[in-house]
Amino acid sequence: MFQTQNTGSFQMRFDPVIYIHEGLGLLYLHLPPIGINVTVESFGFMLYKSGPKPSKEIDLGFVYQHATGNFTYRCAWQTDGKISLRTNATAGDYLQPASFIVPIPDGVTFA
């Protein structure tokens, strides 16, 4: 489970969840749409709340798309548990989740 870094900076309708299916080697992402009220670059916007953490950083790919433009946003799940936005975002952006299934990279374990 995760929680927003700052509810004044990021507006989410629900807390994000990542389901781990190690047998299939897949991550199922249940990510909310996000309203961004600040300009950010490579920023941990979803903080770790509980559950497993990856042993290595996992590139989640372009899991968000801009609601009104032709832009995509890359995210990563870091070893400290937080999810970071890897693409610049500007105040006023509204991001929609784009991808929901991500393969678990080789060598990654969860604790």
3-state secondary structure string across 6-48: CCCCEEECCCCEEEEECCCCEEEEECCCEEECCCECCEEEEEE
The reported pLDDT for the residue numbered 105 is 95
For residue range 29-72, list pLDDT tens digits in order.
Answer: 998 898 888 887 777 778 888 889 999 999 999 999 988 878 88
Q: What is the pLDDT of residue 90?
A: 85
**H-helix or E-strand spanning residue 76:** strand 72-77
Structural domain spans, the chain? 2-103
Q: Residue 87: its pLDDT value, please?
A: 80
Confidence of residue 3 (pLDDT cuts 50, 70, 90): low
Q: Does residue 11 carry a pLDDT above 90?
A: no
Residue 19: closest CA among 32, 29, 9: 29
Q: Could you give phi then psi for residue 14, rounded to 5 degrees?
A: -155, 160
What average pLDDT does the structure give for the chain? Answer: 86
Which residues pair with residue 12 across a beta bridge?
34
CATH of domain 2-103: 2.60.40
